[in-house]
């Protein structure tokens, strides 16, 4: 469960401010749950033998699952998913999820890079890594603050 943060107001944030960093553990059962929720049962997301046969190091998390985990850092920060105006990423590396008690860890941090007075929105650049590799590139969210 993520920590609860106080929703920032537009007037209380500045360019250069960081949003709280978060870490999201990912285990195989999370991927199976996501398969069911999304309808994406691609075998590379749950079968190690097949994933390796197609050249992957192991089972990998769905790209949209990874994107959603990074998005949680934003929605937790603003306190309401309805405040997200836009959110985009580029997938750069897969999140490899070994079949052990630890799985993988997606680590997300962010920084406010722009404020728009007219729309009371801020733009947040996100960094998402797993096992030292950047897993999302050009990750950016624009959110409306009160």
Q: Is the pLDDT reported for residue 1 higher than 80?
A: no
- The CA distances from residue 112 to 19, 35, 133, 142, in Å, are 8, 33, 22, 9
Q: What ranges do the domains of the chain cover?
A: 11-144
pLDDT tens for each residue of 81-90: 999 999 999 9
Looking at residue 30, its pLDDT comes to 97
Q: pLDDT-derived band of residue 7, with 50, 70 and 90 as boundaries?
A: confident
Average of pLDDT values for 126-145? 98
Of the chain, the percentage scoring pLDDT greater than 90 comes to: 95
**Residues contacting residue 142 through CB under 8 Å, at least 6 positions apart:** 84, 85, 86, 87, 121, 122, 123, 124
CA torsion, ordered 79, 80, 81, 83, to nearest 10 deg: -110
State phi, psi for 43 to the nearest 5 degrees.
-65, -25
**Whether pLDDT at 3 is above 80:** no
CA distance 78 to 54: 40
Asked whether the beta carbons of 109 and 24 are under 8 A apart, the reply is no
Domain at 11-144: CATH code = 3.10.129.10
Q: What is the pTM of this model?
A: 0.92
Question: What is the rounded average pLDDT for all residues in the chain?
Answer: 95
Q: Per-residue pLDDT tens for 16-43?
A: 999 999 999 999 999 999 999 999 999 9
């Amino acid at each position: 469960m993520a920590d609860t943060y106080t929703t920032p107001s537009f007037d209380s944030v500045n360019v250069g401010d960081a949003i709280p960093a978060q870490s999201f553990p990912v285990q195989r059962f999370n991927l199976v749950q996501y398969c069911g929720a999304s309808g994406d049962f691609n075998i590379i997301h749950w079968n190690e033998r097949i994933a390796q046969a197609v050249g992957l190091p192991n089972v990998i998390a769905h790209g949209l699952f990874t994107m959603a985990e990074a998005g949680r850092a934003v929605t937790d920060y603003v306190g309401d998913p309805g405040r997200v105006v836009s959110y985009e990423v580029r997938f750069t590396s897969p999140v490899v999820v070994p079949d052990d008690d630890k799985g993988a860890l997606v680590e997300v941090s962010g920084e406010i890079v722009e404020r728009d007075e007219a729309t009371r929105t801020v733009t947040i650049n996100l960094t998402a890594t797993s096992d030292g590799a950047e897993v999302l590139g050009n990750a950016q969210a624009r959110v409306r603050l009160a």
